[in-house]
Amino acid sequence: MEDITTLDNRLSIEKSSPGRRALKFKGRLKHSAPPIPENLRRKTAPRLAELSEFDVVRHFTRLSKINFSLDSHFYPLGSCTMKYNPRVNEDIAALDGFTGLHPMAPDEAAQGTLECLYNLQTLLCELCGMEAITLQPAAGAHGEFAGLMAAKAYFAHKNQKDRVEVIVPDSAHGTNPASAAMLGFSSINIDSGPDGRVDLEVLKRHLGPKTAVVMLTIPNTLGIFESGIETISKMVHEAGALVYMDGANFNAMIGMIKPGELGVDIMHLNMHKTFSTPHGGGGPGAGAIAVKKYLDAYLPVPVIKKEGNRYCADFNRPLSIGKVKAFFGNTGVLLKAYAYLLMHSPRELGEISENAIINANYAKALLKDYYPSHSKDHCMHECVLAPSPEMMAKEITTLDVAKRLLDYGFHAPTIYFPHIAHEAIMIEPTETETRETVEEFASAMKKISAEALNNPQKLKDAPQTMPVKRLDEVQAARQPNLRW
Amino acid sequence: MFIGNTKKDREEMLKTIGVNSFKDLVKQVPEKFLYPEFKLPQEGLDEMQTASAMRELAARNKQLKSFVGAGAYERYIPAALKALLSRGEFLTAYTPYQPEASQGILQTIYEYQSSMAALYEMDYGNASMYDGASSFAEAVRSAVRITGRKKVLIAQSVHPQYLQTLKTYFPPGEDYKFVQIPHKDGCLDLEKLEGLLDRETACAALQSPNFFGLAEDFSKVSALTKAKGALFVAAADPVSLALFTAPGAQGADFAVGEGQGLGLPLNYGGPYLGIFTCKKEYLRQMPGRLAGMTKDKNGKRGFVLTLQAREQHIRRDKASSNICSNEALCALGATIYLALLGPGGLKELAQANFDAAHAAAERLCSIKGVSLKFKGPFFNEFTLALPCAAKELRSRLIEKENIDPGLPLKDFYPELGETLLVCATETKTEKDIARLEKAVREATA
Amino acid sequence: MPKPEEARYTKTHEWIALEGDQSLVGVSDHAQHEMGDVVFVELPKMNQKLEKDKPCTVVESVKSAFDIYAPVAGEVSAVNAAVTGDPAIINQSPLEKGWLFKMKAANPEDLKTLMDWNAYQEFIKQGVH
C-alpha cells in the first residue's frame, strides 16, 4: 500500500513536466557570429527537472521541513560546536558591496573587503597568541592540510627532509591522519593514557629525528585539557619538531587561553565552529591557519597586508607553499566571523568559553547516575558519556539512545567518537543554550535510560516520529543508488 | 552577546556540578595560561553598530561594471533562490549524519549529485568539494592513485590558479612530474599531447572553455589517453554545458568544474562549489561525501550518506581525501538554481551569455588595433589583443569610468603580449557593452 | 573447501587452508560477526606479492573498513570474484563460498606457525582482539 507521504517523497525530476518553466531570460543581444560548430555542440539536453517556480519553492520548502536544524532543535553534537548563528551576520555578508566583488578585482576596488579580512587576521592572531595567519583554506581539514604543508616546506627549507613522521594520538579527528597522509607523511598513531591525555612516556618513545609534527587536539576529543602541554611542547621542540594544534575545540579556550602561549607552532581554526558561522547542512566553512613567525613565509598566498592606509593581497612570497584553492578563501564566511568578533570584547569572548564549559559540566553532572562519564575530571566544553552497564546489559547501544533522542525532539550527540571511548556519547551544548535546554535534554536522556531498562524494544524501534524509520544502510552501500 | 544563561543560572549550575566557582572547573589548565592579556579593543559593538560599521566597509568596495570572468562569473541570482537558501532549516542544519532527522538535506544532495551527473554526462557526482580548483586537484590525485603513475600532463590553457592549486595538492619531495601541454592558437595542441603521453602518464588534465575562453574539441583525447593506460580529467564550466559538448560525451574519466556560476554570488572568491563527477568504475576512488537512496524498515523511500568507508572519519590515513566540511549549502543553491531553470532555462541562460560575449567582442574588435587574439569558438569570454598596455588601460577605466574592462593576461602568459580576458554574462546589457566600447575606444585612441 | 577445523588462523582473524599447492585465505566466522554486514570487498591483484602480516586487501562494512593481513608470505594466485559481486557471501559463508583469494605460500611450512582451530577458539575466548 502506498501512502500519502510516499507520494510526497517524490524527487524534483518525478514532479517534472515537459515544457514547464520557471526562470526565463528574454534579453538577446545581436551579433553576427556563426553558430557553434557541430563538433562542439551538445547533442542531448541534460535530464533536469522542468518545474514552475511555485513547484520549486514548494518542493524545497517541504524538504526544509523534514530536516532538523539548529534553529529548530538542540544539537548537542560534540566536536561540532553547534552554537547559534546570529542573523545579523547573514545580513552583513549578504550586502551587495561584499557579494558583488569579483575575486580578480584589483586591490583598489576591494578596499572594504580587504580591510575586513586584514582586521580579522589581526584579531585571530591575537586571540590565538600567534604571529601570522592565512584565511585561505575553505574548511578545517583544508587548513590542516595547508598547515602541515607549511611545516613540510619549513623543514625542507631547513634541509631536514628526513622529518617524515607526524605523530597523532588515537583520540584525534580522522582528518588529522588523513591530512598527514595526503602530504606523504607517515602518520604514527600513539595510544592515549587512560584519561585520554597524551602519555608522555609513549610520546617520548616515538619522538625523534624523523618527527616533523605532533598533532594535538586541545582540549582533546574527550573534552579534557592537555594539562601537560607545556612539557609536551618542550619535548617536541627539543626533538626539533613542531606542535600542531587542531583548533576544532577552540570554543573551550577563546578569550581565556592563548594556544601560542602553550607552545603551539601551527593551528587551524574553524569559522563554522567557534566563530558562529552556520554549517549549512555540511558546509561551507572556512579555515584559518595561524602560525608563529618562523612559519609565516610558508603560508599559502595571498596574505592580506596593510601598507600605509592601503590594504593589499600579497602574492609575492617566494617561500610560500602556493595556493590551496583558486582565488581568495571563503570570504563570505569570513565576513560573518568578523562581524561576530566585532560584537565581542575580550572579556565577552572569555564568557563564551566559560559558559560553554559550565553547560557541558552541567549536562555531565545531571546525567552522572545514568550515563557514566569516560573521565573522572571535570570536562572543558564537551563531555564523553556512555550508556550505563544496566542499559548495556539489555543490549542497548549508543546508536539506540541516539535514535530515541530524535523522538524526544533532540538531535543526537556525536556518537562512537572518539574511537578510544567505548560506546561514546559526546555532548557539547555550547554557550548559546540555556540551562533549561540542557535540563530538558538531560531529562529526555534519563527517560530513555528508564525505557532502556523497562522496554528496550522502544529504543530498538526508534525513531518512531521521524519522516522515515531506520534506513537500510547496508542496501545503500551494497547497491549504491546515487542519482536519478 | 549570545549567551543564554544569567549570572544566577551559572551560580546554581556550578552548585549542581559541585564546585564553588568557575575557577574550580578549569583546574586542569595550568593557572599561568588562564586569562592572558589581549591587545584588542576593550569594548564590543552592539548589533546596530556592527551592522553600520560593516555597511560602511561594504561601501568601500568599488561598485564597478565588471567584465572580468576568469573562472568566476557574475550571475543574476533569482529571488526564489535567495529566499529558499536563507531558510534557517537549511542554513543552520548540520551534516546529515542522523539520516532520519536529515531527509531534507540528504534528498537535496541526491538531487544535486543527479543534476551534476546529468549536466556533465558522467555516471556519478559527489556531494561537493571546496571549489573548482580543489576539485581539479583531487581528480588528478584520484588518477594518480588509480594508475599508480606519477607523471601528469596539464594543458597550458588551464586556469593558472587551478594549476597552482594542483601542484600544492601533491607533496613536494616525491617525484611527481607535471608537464605542460602547449597550446596552439589558444587550444590544446593534440600532436604535442600525443607526443607527451607515455606509459608513465597518469592523466591528461584539460579544461574547456579554457582560461582563454575558448571551447575546445576533446573528442580525440580519450582514445589517446586510453592507448597509454592513462586517464582523462576534464574541467568544464557548468553553464557552458547547456550549449557545448559535455566531458562525459568526450570520454572523460573524471569531470570537474567550478559551480559558482550556478546561482552563487562572486563573494571575492568564496564560498564556491567544487563539482566532482566520475565514471562508474572510479566511484570508490571518488573523494568526499555521497548520498544514496534506500528504503526504511517499512519499505519507504529514504536517503542516507553512503560508501562512507572511503572517507577520513573511518579510513583515516588511508582515506581517499581528508575532506570533511564541504560546500553543502552552495550545492543546494546550485540544485535550486537548476530546478528553477530546467534544461530550457539553462540553455536560454547559456545562449544569453554567448550572445552578450559575442556582441561585446564584435563591438570591441571594431576599434582600431583591437582584435581577437585567438580564432577559435568561445562561450562567454574571449582574449583581446590590445594596441596599448593592458594593465594601464584597466587602471584608467576603473578609475575614470567605473568599468573593469577585463583581466590583463601578461602576468600569467607574458608571451601573449598586451591582452585582456574579457567576459560578458547575461547580466550585461546593450548599454553596458556600448559603454565599454566607448571607454576602450577613447583609451586606445 | 577446507573444514574450519583444518584451517589455520591469525591473531587478526584471517584463516588460511592448504588446497593442493595453493592456500585459500578468508576471514573467520568470528571476524565476519564483528564486522557486521559486509558491503564491499577490495581484492588483491593477481600475482601480487604478499608479505606476512602486511595489509593486502580491505573489507568494508557500512561504518568501518577492515584491513586483511596476509597470513604468510607468498603470491596471489587467484581471487574470488563472487565476493566482489555479492559481498554478503562473506557473512553467509565465511569459510567456504566467502574465501577471498588463493595464494602460493613462499614456504608452506609457515602455515604451521599459525594457530590451529583449538588455539584460535581459546584466543577468541580470551577476548584478545
CATH number at residue C89: 2.40.50.100
pLDDT at A389 over 50: yes
Question: CA nearest B115 in A: which residue?
Answer: A48
Identify which of A83, A116, A187 has the shortest CB distance to residue B317.
Answer: A187
Chain C residues within 8 A of B308 when measuring between CB atoms:
62-63
Per the prediction, chain A carries an average pLDDT of 95
| Nine cell digits for residue A45 | 539536453
Q: Is residue C125 part of a domain?
A: no
Name the fold adopted by B79-337: Aspartate Aminotransferase; domain 2 (3.40.640)
Chains meeting A at 3+ CB pairs closer than 8 A?
A: B, C
In sequence order, the β-bridge partners of residue B278 are B124, B254
pLDDT for A466: 96
Question: Cβ distance A70 to B95 under 8 Å?
Answer: no
Say what the pTM is: 0.95
pLDDT for A4: 46
Question: What percent of chain A shows pLDDT beyond 70?
Answer: 98
Q: Predicted confidence band at A6 (pLDDT cuts at 50, 70, 90)?
A: low
Task: Give the domain ranges of chain B.
Answer: 79-337, 344-444
Shortest distance between the Cα of B312 and any Cα of chain A, in A, equals 5
Characterise C20 by phi-psi region: left (phi > 0), alpha (psi -120 to 50), beta (else).
left
| Helix (H), strand (E), coil (C) string for chain A | CCCHHHHCCCCHHHHCCCCCCCCCCCCCCCCCCCCCCHHHECCCCCCCCCCCHHHHHHHHHHHHHCECCCCCCECCECCCCCCCCCHHHHHHHCCHHHHCCCCCCCHHHCHHHHHHHHHHHHHHHHHHCCCEEECCCCCHHHHHHHHHHHHHHHHHHCCCCCCCEEEEECCCCCHHHHHHHHCCCEEEEECECCCCCECHHHHHHHCCCCEEEEEEECCCCCCCCCCCHHHHHHHHHHCCCEEEEEHHHHHHCCCCCCHHHHCCCEEEEECCCCCCCCCCCCCCCCEEEEECHHHHHHCCCCEEEEECCEEEEECCCCCCCCCCCCCCCCHHHHHHHHHHHHCCCHHHHHHHHHHHHHHHHHHHHHCCCCCCECCCCCCCCCEEECCCHHHHHCCCCHHHHHHHHHHCCECCCEECCCCCCCCCEEECCCCCCCHHHHHHHHHHHHHHHHHHHHCHHHHHCCCCCCCCCCECHHHHHHCCCCCC
Q: Which CATH architecture has domain A353-474?
A: Alpha-Beta Complex (3.90)
Chains meeting C at 3+ CB pairs closer than 8 A?
A: A, B
Chain A residues within 8 A of C60 when measuring between CB atoms:
477
For B364, other C-beta atoms within 10 Å of its C-beta total 26
Per the prediction, chain B carries an average pLDDT of 96
Question: CA nearest A148 in B: which residue?
Answer: B171
Question: Cβ distance A130 to A292 under 8 Å?
Answer: yes
A341-350 residue pLDDT tens:
999 999 999 9
| Nine cell digits for residue A166 | 607526524
Most B-contacting residue of A30, A43, A69, A77 (CB-CB within 10 A), to test interface:
A69
Name the fold adopted by B344-444: Aspartate Aminotransferase, domain 1 (3.90.1150)
How far apart, in whole angstroms, are the C-alpha atoms of residue B426 and residue A453? 64
Question: Cβ distance A353 to B26 under 8 Å?
Answer: no
B359 and A56 within 8 Å at the Cβ level: the answer is no
Range of the domain at C54: 4-106
Chain A CB within 8 Å of residue B33 CB: yes
B139-178 residue pLDDT tens:
999 999 999 999 999 999 999 999 999 999 987 777 899 9
Q: Predicted confidence band at C62 (pLDDT cuts at 50, 70, 90)?
A: confident
How far apart, in whole angstroms, are the C-alpha atoms of residue C2 and residue B306? 35
Q: Predicted confidence band at A7 (pLDDT cuts at 50, 70, 90)?
A: low
Shortest distance between the Cα of C19 and any Cα of chain B, in A, equals 33
Q: Is residue C117 part of a domain?
A: no
Question: Cβ distance A113 to B61 under 8 Å?
Answer: yes
Q: What is the number of domains present in chain C? A: 1
A470 and B296 within 8 Å at the Cβ level: the answer is yes
Question: Cβ distance B233 to B201 under 8 Å?
Answer: no
Chain A neighbours among B 151-180 (CB < 8 Å)? Answer: 159, 161-162, 164-165, 167-169, 171-174
Chain B CB within 8 Å of residue C42 CB: yes
For B157, other C-beta atoms within 10 Å of its C-beta total 27
Asked if domains B79-337 and B344-444 share a fold, the reply is: no
A474 and C62 within 8 Å at the Cβ level: the answer is yes
Question: What percent of chain B shows pLDDT beyond 90?
Answer: 93
Q: Is residue C120 part of a domain?
A: no
| A182-186, A423-427, B75-79, B365-369: least confidently modelled range | A182-186
Is the peptide bond preceding residue A429 cis, with omega within 30 degrees of 0?
Answer: no
pLDDT at A325 over 80: yes
Residues with pLDDT less than 50, chain B: none
Characterise B444 by phi-psi region: left (phi > 0), alpha (psi -120 to 50), beta (else).
alpha
B119 and A46 within 8 Å at the Cβ level: the answer is yes
A102-151 residue pLDDT tens:
999 999 999 999 999 999 999 999 999 999 999 999 999 999 999 999 99
Chain A residues within 8 A of C88 when measuring between CB atoms:
478
pLDDT for A3: 47
Q: Is residue C21 part of a domain?
A: yes
Question: CA nearest A163 in B: which residue?
Answer: B173
How far apart, in whole angstroms, are the C-alpha atoms of residue A288 and residue A271? 8
Among candidates A80, A70, A114, which has minimal Cα distance to A270? A80
Secondary structure (3-state) at B243: coil
B341 and A83 within 8 Å at the Cβ level: the answer is no
Size of interface B-C (CB pairs under 8 A): 18
B47 and A88 within 8 Å at the Cβ level: the answer is yes
Pick the CATH number of A89-342 from 3.40.50.300, 3.10.105.10, 3.40.640.10, 3.40.1440.10: 3.40.640.10
Question: Cβ distance A179 to A186 under 8 Å?
Answer: no
B194-223 burial, b if ≥16 CB within 10 A, otherwise e? eebbeeebbbbbbbbbbbbbbbbbbeebbe
pLDDT for B324: 85
Task: Give the domain ranges of chain A.
Answer: 1-23+45-66, 89-342, 353-474
Identify which of A30, A46, A431 has the shortest CB distance to residue B118.
Answer: A46
Mean pLDDT (whole number) for C21-48? 92
Q: Is residue C72 part of a domain?
A: yes
pLDDT for A2: 45
